[in-house]
Amino acid sequence: MIQRTPVRIEAQLLDNQCPDDDTPTWQQILADSITCPESLLAQLGLDPASWLQGARAGHKLFPVRVPAPYLARIRPGDPEDPLLRQVMPLADEARVVDGFVRDPLEEAGATAGTGLIRKYRSRALLMITGQCAINCRYCFRRHFPYDQHRLSPQDRTAALHQLQQAPEINEVIFSGGDPLAVNDRLLARWVDNLAAIPHIKRIRIHTRLPVVIPQRVTDDLLQWLSHPGLQFVMVLHINHPAELDAPTRAALQRLTGAGVTLLNQSVILHGVNDRTDTLYQLSETLFDAGVLPYYLHTFDPVAGAHHFNVDDDRARQLVRELNALLPGFLVPRLVREIPGKSGKTPLDLNF
């Protein structure tokens, strides 16, 4: 089973602040996430006789984690709900399928030091934490050895030294896990240290947290995202328009108001968004919320998630149909990440 930072976050990851009222903090919401299949089924009114055995089998391989704000967007009693499909463990996850592997992007060989991954010439990726706000069943890092990549203070110093010695790097990507699962004081310290490196001009944050827990967009977060020495890009991960409810839209509006560029990347997933009308509505809904569609990823063949796979011909067809319905700036680029390549590989749409 994958080992991640415990959901009851370590003391040093929490802000020492008391809320002014009874509104739960994002940390409390995260700590109170559903973490067992029995609770997930009970909350959504799904029949345990039909679902519990398979859910337990999938949970043993990759644990359930669903925070309450995301759970509230799932239709009760509907096992085909596209948001539920992203978080519901299934017995299918235990099947061994040829071509579906534990490390589909071969990241283990790209690690330049604890927590630092170099796959591209001008960008470096920092594994800020192994903690996630939600465990998506299709995650390409569901088998990643996060315990071997936890950042100690010495590791942070070493990573900064490596970045200082690499003048070709102008962008640092905060990744994980979900980097926004870490408290704002630590993230602000990272930003201050990176801003002191002359050739670093941009920080990109890959996160799902403002979507699944909109309360994560706090004043402290907006403060370090407004650092005058750096540009900030936030790449969200939204696969279906139903993920964008009113609280999430309000949180995203705060981010754009702080000058953060918001992009979205989706993964094409069977039973979730492999329909033209769904992808059309997703692009329109994203743009209404101030987010620009960026990438539509083909499925990374990770072991345990083969049931989400959509073949390339179907993916091409969907994007060709989007081209006929949307202006070009709302059509995400259909890409595949190929191990060893210096960037994403666009798929030829075969017009």
What is the domain partition of the chain in residue ranges?
Answer: 22-94, 107-346
pLDDT at 283: 98
Lowest mean pLDDT among 20-24, 109-113, 134-138, 237-241: 109-113
Residue 62, CA distances (Å) to 59, 92, 201, 257 in order: 5, 12, 37, 37
Is the domain defined by 107-346 classed in CATH 3.20.20.70?
yes
pLDDT at 44: 97
Residue 208, CA distances (Å) to 17, 30, 78, 243, 248 in order: 24, 13, 24, 11, 11
d(CA 33, CA 98) in angstroms, rounded, equals 34
How many helices (H) and strands (E) the chain has is answered by 12, 10
Q: What share of the chain in percent tops pLDDT 90?
A: 74
Mean local confidence (pLDDT), 46-56 = 96
d(CA 114, CA 91) in angstroms, rounded, equals 34
pTM over 0.85: yes
Dig out the tokens for 294 from the structure: 């960026």
- Whether 81 contacts 118, CB under 8 Å: no
Residue 107, CA distances (Å) to 98, 100, 115, 127 in order: 20, 15, 11, 11
Q: Could you tell me how far CA 42 lies from the centroid of its own chain? A: 26
Dig out the tokens for 264 from the structure: 């979205």
